[in-house]
Amino acid sequence: MTAEQQDRPADRHRRPDGVTDATVEALGKLSEALEAVEEARGSLYAFHRLSGHADLQAGEAADMLREAGHAELADRVETELIGRNVIEGRWTFQLVEEYDEGYYATFRDLERAARDDLAEGKPHLFEAEMKEDRRTRGRRHHEASPD
C-alpha cells in the first residue's frame, strides 16, 4: 500500500457512492443540531444536579436557622421550599426523564435513521470531508487517521 493510500480517511468517514453534496450537507446540519441537543441535555442534567444540591443546602440552612433561634423561618423554609416541585407536579428528575425518553430519544433516533437511510450509517461525513479539505497532506499532525 502506498503512502498516499495510507493517508486517507477511514472507510467509516468516506462518502458512499451516489451520495450527493446536498445530502452530506443536510446530514451534517442534522448532526450539528443533534450536538446542540446533546449540549442542552448536559445543561438539563446540570440544572437537575444543581437544583437537588440547592434543596439539600436549604435543608441544612433550615436546621441552622432553627438552631439559631429562628424556628418560624426554619418552618417556612421546610414547608414552602424543601421538596417543592420545580414546575407543576415535577421534580427535576422527572424533567430529565421526559426529555430523555421523548424529545432526546426521538432526535437521536431520527438522526441515526437519516444516516442509515442516506449514507450507510456513516457518521460525520461533512466533518470528515472538511478535514480532508483543510489538512496538509504528508505533514505530521495532519494525518487522515491515527494509523
pLDDT at 4 over 70: no
pLDDT of residue 92: 98
Instruction: State the Cα–Cα distance between residues 91 and 87, nearest whole angstrom.
Output: 7
Specify whether the CB–CB gap between 14 and 127 falls below 8 A: no
Contact 126, 27 (CB under 8 A): yes
Residue bearing cell 433561634: 69
Global pTM value: 0.84
pLDDT band at 5; cut points 50, 70, 90: low
Average pLDDT over residues 107-128: 97
pLDDT band with cut points at 50, 70 and 90 for residue 146: confident
The CA distance from 99 to 46, in Å, is 14
